Amino acid sequence: MHSLKQSENKYLKFWEKLTTDRPELYVLIPHEKPDFDAIASSCILQKLLTTLMQIKSVIVMDSPTLETQYVLRELNIDLVWMNPGDFSTEGSYDVVLIDSSNPERFISEQIKQLIGASRRIFAIDHHFTGESASATLELLYHPVPATTEIILGLSEELGVLSNILEDERLTKLAILGLVTDTYFFTLATPSTFRYMSKLSERVQYIKIVETLRKKREQPLPEKLARLKAMQRIMLRVINSKIVCITHVGSYESKVASSLLDMGADLSIVISPKRERGKKLIRVILRSKGIQLEPIVKEIADVYGGSYGILMNYAGGIQISSKERIDKLRKAIMEIVFKHLGEGVET
Ligand SMILES: [Mn+2]
């Protein structure tokens, strides 16, 4: 448990480090395939930096997915960002990673170079990453369901939460971040509801939720990914818990979540990636009440990978292994057996 006093100090200490020895420019970098939580957090931090410090900042990221863009458009939320390829690393700047805290996790070489050429690296994140990343950067970590909640907490400690709430665009973004990262409040905490009560007074909450819920047809590659994933499922029942392992080229997070919807207690989706000839493998886990941390840690340890875990609900591991997929998934299933007990083949 964190007492209010402790987190107060944590937020303000971070802010002090971030803003003393100030750079000419802050580059705010949300994780790749930026979601609402990452986008909302970046935009609110940008507002904090301009209103409190008058320091210039720029958000550097790839375009959000078509689905995300659709929701932003429907809700009249304008976003200003720069593509990684358009950013010149010549000047002096500090980097702030948002909703992500491991520079190694970025796949894009351009972003890696951008981070590498920065003066200092900061990160604000709610994913638990062990010790894999925090050595090289200044991290503001807090175990809450969304990074948006950390940024709202920071705004509150700095005494400017009301300024944020007055900005309709930021209020809508914050709601989107909280609603989606808590999976429509499944993971919400009392503080999520406290912020939601302040935010929802300002804007039409119903319109935001309706827009998020609108059923849009999935793009063809996504439908194919879901169906191929099902075709390739390796299924075990371990002590009445259903464990699924499968693999896809993309949409691994969505596939992992939909396997839970279909009845799995633990879903594991392996996704081999290739970036400029370099191979890496992403392993995404989703769980209903199964302790993820020991499983994720062991897989990451065995393959020398980095990982992130979110409240025993979601986990992600990135490994650079040339292991064949079928061998890898057997090995991962062995690790799951070890933690859950012997399984029954189905
Ligand atoms: Mn998040």
pLDDT in tens, 33-90: 999 999 999 999 999 999 999 999 999 999 998 889 999 999 999 999 999 999 998 9
Q: How high is the pLDDT of residue 1?
A: 44
**pTM of the entire predicted model:** 0.83
> How far is the C-alpha of 284 from the C-alpha of 267, rounded, in Å?
8
What are the chain's domains? 4-213 (3.90.1640.10), 221-341 (3.10.310.20)
Ligand 1 center to residue 324 CA distance, Å? Answer: 30
Ligand 1 center to residue 333 CA distance, Å? Answer: 27
Ligand 1 center to residue 240 CA distance, Å? Answer: 31
Q: Which long-range contacts (CB under 8 A, 24 or more apart) does 74-83 make?
A: 74/211, 74/214, 75/172, 75/176, 75/207, 75/208, 75/211, 77/169, 77/172, 77/173, 78/169, 79/39, 79/43, 82/58
Ligand 1 center to residue 241 CA distance, Å? Answer: 27
Q: How confident is the model at residue 159 (pLDDT cuts 50, 70, 90)?
A: very high
> How far is the C-alpha of 153 from the C-alpha of 11, rounded, in Å?
8
Ligand 1 center to residue 14 CA distance, Å? Answer: 19
- Which residues are 250's β-sheet partners? none
Q: What are phi and psi of 300, to 5 degrees?
A: -60, -40
Ligand 1 center to residue 181 CA distance, Å? Answer: 6
Token pair recorded at residue 193 = 């509801």
Q: How high is the pLDDT of residue 6?
A: 56
pLDDT in tens, 188-232: 999 999 999 999 999 999 999 999 998 778 889 999 999 999 999
Ligand 1 center to residue 259 CA distance, Å? Answer: 20
Ligand 1 center to residue 40 CA distance, Å? Answer: 10
Q: What are phi and psi of 129, to 5 degrees?
A: -125, 15
Residue 265: name the closest of 247, 291, 300, 226 by CA: 291
Detail the DSSP E strand segments found in the chain. 25-30, 56-59, 94-98, 121-125, 138-141, 234-238, 241-247, 266-275, 278-287, 306-310, 314-319, 343-345
